[in-house]
Amino acid sequence: MATATVPDRGWSRDTVETRVFGVLRVLMILFLLVITVFPFYYMVLLSLRPLDRVLQDPGALVLPPSEVNLDSYASVVAPPSAGGQGFLSFMANSAIVALGTVAVTLLIALPGAYAVSRLQFFGRRQISVLFLAVYLFPSILLAVPLFVFFTQIGLRGSLVGLLIVYVSQIVAVSIYMLRNYFDTVPVSLEEAAAIDGCSRLGILWRVSLPLAMPAIMANALFIFMIAWNEFLFALLFLIEERDRWTVSLGLSQLAGSIEIPTTVLMAGSVIITIPIIVVFFASERLLTEGLTAGAEKG
């Protein structure tokens, strides 16, 4: 009966919908591109313009080449003794904490993920549930006791304390992601190594880890991004120690002060975002596959 009502001109409901949604789809893609990219474009734009030009003409959306000005970058990386904001030292602190977190987390999570994936031991299932719960746990609830605890043992204000907190919060997610990958490594390869006289640790080191290298790399980059971006615990632990501020903390603290020009802080934002964007594009395919590994099962 539906076919009887379809006019020959081609204005059936199907044709109308196909055309309307064809247009809407293009508009939607453009809209999404604008909203995702614009804030980053604006960040770069402001960081390259001199402050007085920004205040005179705040609506400018393109940058004339004659206006390009790198003073903001020079000012934001210069140490405070030279009248700058010292972002280089913030970046060094963040790099130490982030790389340290990556190293320690992988050192702990790799054997753990292997064990959860391969070895039958007492309480394996309960441990998996515990790790999932940790992944979902609100960090604000942990903020209170950890703040008190690290104050009491005198580790608050040190980068080591921050690193320990980061590792403890990331290790569960890391195991979860790595385990999914170990599950895909064929057991027969490990058994072949075992027959050749390889021990458990030898198998892990010589067979499983090399095979899982792509996943390990992706995981390392993922951990790096989390640790580099983290804000709450950096704020709670390090706020009184300017020498140890991480990039996130440094930018947020300086953003509150009136004396520092917005363009300089925009340059700071660009500088702290660049490592993340580099890492992200280096690992994008690995990461998206890792994050959604279980999604197809719905």
Partner 1 sequence: MTAGAGVQPPGAPPAASARDRGSGRTLARADARAGLALISPTLVIVLVMVVLPILWTVLLAFQRLRLLNLRSAGLFGEFTLNNFDNVFSASSFWSALATTLAYSVLGTASAIGLGLLAALALRRPFRGRGLIRALMLLPYVAPIVAVTFAWTTMLNPQFGVTNHWGTRLLGWDEPIAFLSQRSSEVSILGWTFGVPTALLTVIAFEAWRSFPFAFLFLTARLQAVPATLEEAARVDGATITQRFRHILLPQLLPTVAVLAVLRFIWTFNSFDDIYLLTGGGAGTEVVAVSVFNALTARGDIGGAAAQALVLAAILAVLIGLYLWRLAPREEQS
Q: Is 69 in the site for partner 1 (CB under 8 A)?
A: no
94: left (phi over 0), alpha (psi -120 to 50) or beta: alpha
**Tokens standing for 238?**
């390090």
Q: What are the CA-CA distances from residue 275 to residues 36, 97, 281 (Å)?
A: 18, 14, 10
70 binds partner 1 (CB under 8 A): no
* Residue 149 beta carbon to partner 1: minimum distance, rounded to whole angstroms: 7
Q: Is 123 exposed, middle or buried (0-12, 13-18, 19+ CB in 10 A)?
A: exposed
d(CA 91, CA 292) in angstroms, rounded, equals: 31
And the tokens for 104? 């320690």
Q: Is 207 in the site for partner 1 (CB under 8 A)?
A: no
Residues contacting partner 1: total by CB under 8 A: 106
Residue recorded with tokens 């980059």? 221
Minimum distance of partner 1 from residue 183's CB (angstroms): 15
The one-letter amino acid code at 55 reads: L
Residue from 4, 62, 129, 195 in contact with partner 1 (CB under 8 A):
195
Does residue number 65 form part of the binding site for partner 1 (CB under 8 A)?
Answer: no
Only segment of 31-39, 68-76, 81-89, 206-214 that touches partner 1 (CB under 8 A)? 31-39
Minimum CB separation of residue 8 from partner 1 in Å reads 16
**Interface positions, 163-192, toward partner 1 (CB under 8 A):** 164-165, 167-169, 171-172, 175, 187-188, 191
Q: 75: closest CA among 273, 258, 262?
A: 262
Find the shortest distance in angstroms from Cβ 215 to partner 1.
Answer: 17
Distances from the Cα of 225 to the Cαs of 60, 74, 229, in angstroms? 32, 25, 6
Q: For residue 169, how many other CB atoms are within 10 A of its CB?
A: 21
Q: Which 267-286 positions form the footprint of partner 1 (CB under 8 A)?
A: 269-270, 272-273, 276-277, 280-281, 284
Please tell me whether residue 194 binds partner 1 under the rule CB under 8 A.
yes
Q: Which residues of 40-61 are buried (b: 16+ CB within 10 A; e: fewer)?
A: eeebebbbbbeeeebeeeeeee
Instruction: Write down the least CB distance from residue 282 to partner 1, Å.
Output: 11
Site for partner 1 in 111-150 (CB under 8 A): 111-112, 114-116, 118-122, 124, 127, 130-131, 134, 136-149
> Does 291 contact partner 1 by CB under 8 A?
yes
Question: In terms of CB distance, is 65 or 138 closer to partner 1?
Answer: 138
CB of 6 to partner 1, least distance (A): 9
Rounded Cα–Cα distance for residues 71 and 55 (Å): 16
Q: How far is the CB of 73 from partner 1 (least distance, A)?
A: 15
Which positions from 73 through 102 interact with partner 1, judged by CB under 8 A? Answer: none
